[in-house]
Amino acid sequence: MKKLMLVAALGLIATQAAAQDKLKIGILTTLSGPPAALGVQQRNGFQLALKTLGNKLGGREVELIVQDDELKPDVAVGKAKAFVERDKVDFVVGPIFSNILIAMMKPVTDSGVVLISPNAGTSNFAGKDCNASFFVTSYQNDQNAETMGKYAQDNGVKKAFLIAPNYQAGKDELAGFKRDFKGQIADEVYVPLGQLDYSAELTKIAAASPDAIFAFLPGGMGVNFVKQFRQAGLADKVKFLSAFTVDESTLPAQQDAALGFLGGANWAPNLDNPQNKAFVEAYLKEYNAVPASYAFQAYDAALLIDSALKATGGKTDNKDALRAAIKKADFKSLRGKFKFNTNHYPIQDFYVVKVAKRSDGKYQTEIVQKVFSDYADPYAKDCPMK
């Protein structure tokens, strides 16, 4: 009997040790309401990378904990604290929205846990508030919009109407567009985050008679705006430029209403490299959907963690060594060229993309032209990290 009890006890200890040895990762993203399509893509992209890598990163089995931030900063703070205090995660991955990033930054990074954002990339954290434990696999918020501002400037747009939600990312996006666009701004309109009826704004656009509109309206906001813009008859009169308003998260609902509309991006499903082709094919097979940037950037976040842990022998206890390994970014990004700047934001290429219908009836964005090569955001100079 004593022998059996000893064997059972040893087995329990071994099981507990194995469980403790699992790499714990918390994903905090938006999974409810109209913006859920974005968070689902982010979660799916990370999970697909784990599946492709045999549910191991750096040789360690992964325990993935997924939470919905509900697009509420107070909810995000509570769940971020639970990740680091109760769940003892090694990494936090997320979020989608910049107001959530701003809320969760302190509770995560103050604990010493590494935070990796596969989407939100505010200007403050790229500049003076940069953080040694914060890394971004997407972009600095301004940059996709800046791509469209440069495109507009280079293609004869004289007068542009700007619209975005009234929060940090919206302000960053419009600032980005204006950085390279030197024409007239017909109006600069900020709407409540989550607004779905644009009848008043469409009346303003029609009255202003701009050459082009630049819209940053992600998720359900973009779905409704694009449909209403097309229904109002403006698509034939005003050039449609955007960021995160027509992409693979919104196109299943927008469909033909978005055809031909342009966006700024650091990637597209038709980007021609072997790793991206394999990713898009795998995502289509797994989820019967075309991946959006939210998915590819989350996939890259998993590859980044995998590369860092390979360099540290799977260890996460030495935070300086872990951060140094992450900063090297020794992995093959789905976008091709990728490296971190001193502020831990990527240096990468940016493109104009156009909405098209695929041969299988689904919709995707496709690359029209490259606008910026090896582009670093303008806020890095203010970051004290070197």
Question: Pick the residue with more confidence: 3 or 342?
Answer: 342
Beta bridge partners of 355: 365
385 within domain boundaries: no
The owner of tokens 């960021």 is: 243
124 & 30 share domain: yes
386 within domain boundaries: no
304 within domain boundaries: yes
Cα gap 62→51, rounded to integer Å: 10
For the stretch 314-371, pLDDT in tens is: 999 999 999 999 999 999 999 999 999 999 999 999 999 999 999 999 999 999 999 9
Cα gap 249→234, rounded to integer Å: 23
User: Helices (DSSP H) in the chain: which residue ranges?
Assistant: 2-20, 36-52, 73-85, 98-109, 123-126, 142-154, 168-180, 199-208, 220-231, 251-254, 274-287, 293-312, 319-328
The percent of residues above 70 in pLDDT, for the chain, comes to 95
Number of domains in the chain: 2
116 & 22 share domain: yes
384 within domain boundaries: no
Cis before 384 (ω within 30):
no
126 within domain boundaries: yes
95 & 212 share domain: no
Output the CA torsion sign for 224, 227, 369, 43: positive
Do residues 325 and 307 touch, judged by C-beta distance below 8 A?
A: yes
Residue 1: pLDDT above 80? no
42 & 148 share domain: no
248 & 278 share domain: no
Residue 10: pLDDT above 90? no
For the stretch 48-98, pLDDT in tens is: 999 999 999 999 999 999 999 999 999 999 999 999 999 999 999 999 999
345 within domain boundaries: no
State mean pLDDT over 32-55.
96
Cα gap 202→54, rounded to integer Å: 49
State mean pLDDT over 125-133.
98
pTM for the predicted model, two decimal places = 0.93
Q: Residue 138, SS3? A: coil
Looking at residue 113, which CATH number applies to its domain? 3.40.50.2300
Neighbour-count burial of 281, counting CB atoms closer than 10 A to its CB (0-12 exposed, 13-18 middle, 19+ buried): exposed
382 within domain boundaries: no
182 & 328 share domain: no
300 & 359 share domain: no
380 within domain boundaries: no
252 & 289 share domain: no
For the stretch 236-245, pLDDT in tens is: 999 999 999 9
359 & 334 share domain: no
State mean pLDDT over 257-283.
98
110 & 18 share domain: yes
Give the range of the structural domain holding residue 157, as residue numbers without chain letter. 142-265+350-374
209 & 356 share domain: yes
121 & 98 share domain: yes
